């Protein structure tokens, strides 16, 4: 029996793999314009870190982590998100002592043991960014502008940004209680899931998908009306800055996030073409987290893009075979080696060209017909044919595919550098 990949873990092949790196590159380009610098983080951390950062009672910590004991018994976890690690590194390296503001980005695999479905995998990739040291609304607006710029750069103009304010330590607990009281009052009318939520996570009562609960939740108290004055003012300023920038967003008073550390501004981005897992990015402010993880009292805000979902969205947005084909690796020259006596020269020429930066596909050991067919299928514009005749005069025949024309003795085997490039018709 052949061994297959673990459930929820996938291989990225061909154009899919290229799409990923293309998206990652564009996103990083935007992030660096905003002053974020890369941090390379471990994907394994002490379980304790996530339990403390994300919250003991969240779904992620309760049942979605890949946790196992190390040889000495300490519990380790494959990271189920990136912010906790970034904050841990920030604290561990005393980055607040270096500069009053720190901006970091990272990318890489994230692990959650969930049931896989479209756009949801057990290993997926995130590109995340964290901004430490600024608590002003300007920082929130700048971060959201950055998110918008990444989306636009990727051609996801139809992606929607949803924002909300979750309040802070001074107003959210009170609101939670109000919501819980409301839930108790309507316990009989709520779906079984929501009944559990009353105790566990009352904020989730707001975004149940059940028709009955949705109707009912319209009568629930809204956090918006319970925000303390500083939170309300902060949110209003963020919004007016976004308005001034022309960054389009929607306020979703029901937006609730699954990680406990968020407060004040939080947001989510949804895109089309993803099935029911429509969120391609999420983030928010987490002013209390650095201190909770043993660091100084420092405000912070961050977000993460789901690379896998971005790829689905980008694919849906461009969706034509042509654009997909544009991602294929097309060789500039295909070298066809006929017969054993031509191998060494073929390999030498291929290597010279490759060292000059030319994408070369080399093949041999079978009929010219099949080599030509393959060159054609790969889309190579020129084929350098090396057979007995060519080796005898040490000059290769150059086949121009689109013109259906052969150019005999076009490429001298001993050419180097620009002369060689010119001979095979490759512009530098």
CA distance 313 to 271: 6
Shortest distance, position 275 Cβ to RNA, whole Å: 3
The partner residues of 412 in beta bridges, in order of sequence, read 395
Residue with smaller CB distance to RNA, 106 or 124: 124
Residue with smaller CB distance to RNA, 119 or 331: 119
Residue with smaller CB distance to RNA, 264 or 399: 399
Shortest distance, position 345 Cβ to RNA, whole Å: 12
Shortest distance, position 97 Cβ to RNA, whole Å: 29
Residue appearing with tokens 């300007």: 138
Shortest distance, position 50 Cβ to RNA, whole Å: 12
Residue with smaller CB distance to RNA, 96 or 310: 310
Q: Which residues, at least 6 apart from 172, have a Cβ–Cβ distance to it below 8 Å?
A: 166, 223, 263
- Spatial strand order in the sheet of 37-38: 37-38, 102-111, 123-132, 300-306, 279-285, 263-270, 160-165, 250-251
Asked if 266 contacts 203 with a C-beta cutoff of 8 angstroms, the reply is: no
Q: Which residues, at least 6 apart from 152, have a Cβ–Cβ distance to it below 8 Å?
A: none
Three-class SS of residue 233? Answer: helix
Residue with smaller CB distance to RNA, 71 or 377: 377
Q: How far is CA 196 from the centre of its chain?
A: 33
Residue with smaller CB distance to RNA, 96 or 194: 194
Shortest distance, position 426 Cβ to RNA, whole Å: 17
CA distance 89 to 317: 36
Closest CA to 166 of 268, 69, 93, 246: 268
Burial bucket for residue 368 (CB in 10 Å: 0-12, 13-18, 19+):
middle
Shortest distance, position 396 Cβ to RNA, whole Å: 8
Asked if 298 contacts 328 with a C-beta cutoff of 8 angstroms, the reply is: no
Residue with smaller CB distance to RNA, 122 or 239: 122
Shortest distance, position 404 Cβ to RNA, whole Å: 3
């Amino acid at each position: 029996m052949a061994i297959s990949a673990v459930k929820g873990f996938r291989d990225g092949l061909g154009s899919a793999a290229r799409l990923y790196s293309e998206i990652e590159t564009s996103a990083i380009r935007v992030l660096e314009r905003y002053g974020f610098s890369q941090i390379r983080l471990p994907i394994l951390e002490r379980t304790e870190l996530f339990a403390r950062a994300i919250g003991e009672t969240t779904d992620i910590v309760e049942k979605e982590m890949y946790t196992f004991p190390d040889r000495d018994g300490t519990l380790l976890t494959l990271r189920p998100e990136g912010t906790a690690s970034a904050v841990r590194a920030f604290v561990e390296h005393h980055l607040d002592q270096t500069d009053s503001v720190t901006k970091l980005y990272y990318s890489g695999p994230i692990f959650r043991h969930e049931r896989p479905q479209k756009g949801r995998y057990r290993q997926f990739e995130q590109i995340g960014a964290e901004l430490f040291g600024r608590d002003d609304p300007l920082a929130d607006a700048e971060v959201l502008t950055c998110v918008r710029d990444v989306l636009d750069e990727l051609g996801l103009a139809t992606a929607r940004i949803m924002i909300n304010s979750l309040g802070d330590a001074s107003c959210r607990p009170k609101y939670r209680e109000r919501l819980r009281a409301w839930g108790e009052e309507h316990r009989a009318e709520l779906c079984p899931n929501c009944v559990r939520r009353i105790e566990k996570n009352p904020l989730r009562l707001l975004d149940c998908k059940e028709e009955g609960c949705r109707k009912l939740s319209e009568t629930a108290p809204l956090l918006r009306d319970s925000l303390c004055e500083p939170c309300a003012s902060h949110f209003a300023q963020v919004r007016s800055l976004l308005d001034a920038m022309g960054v389009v967003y929607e306020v979703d008073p029901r937006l609730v996030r699954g990680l406990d550390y968020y407060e004040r501004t939080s947001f989510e981005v949804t895109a089309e073409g993803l099935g029911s897992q429509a969120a391609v990015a999420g983030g928010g402010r987490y002013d209390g987290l650095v201190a909770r993880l043993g660091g100084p009292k420092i405000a912070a805000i961050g977000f993460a893009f789901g690379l896998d979902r971005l790829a689905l969205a980008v694919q849906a947005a461009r969706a034509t075979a042509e654009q997909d084909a544009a991602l294929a690796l097309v060789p500039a020259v295909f070298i066809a080696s006929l017969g054993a006596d031509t191998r060494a020269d073929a390999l030498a020429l291929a290597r010279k060209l490759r060292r000059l930066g030319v994408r070369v596909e080399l093949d041999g050991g079978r009929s010219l017909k099949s080599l030509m067919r393959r060159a054609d299928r790969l889309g190579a514009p020129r084929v350098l044919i090396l057979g007995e005749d060519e080796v005898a005069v040490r000059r290769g025949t150059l086949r121009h595919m689109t013109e259906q024309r052969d150019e005999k003795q076009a490429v001298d085997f001993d050419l180097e550098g620009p002369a060689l490039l010119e001979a095979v018709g490759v512009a530098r």
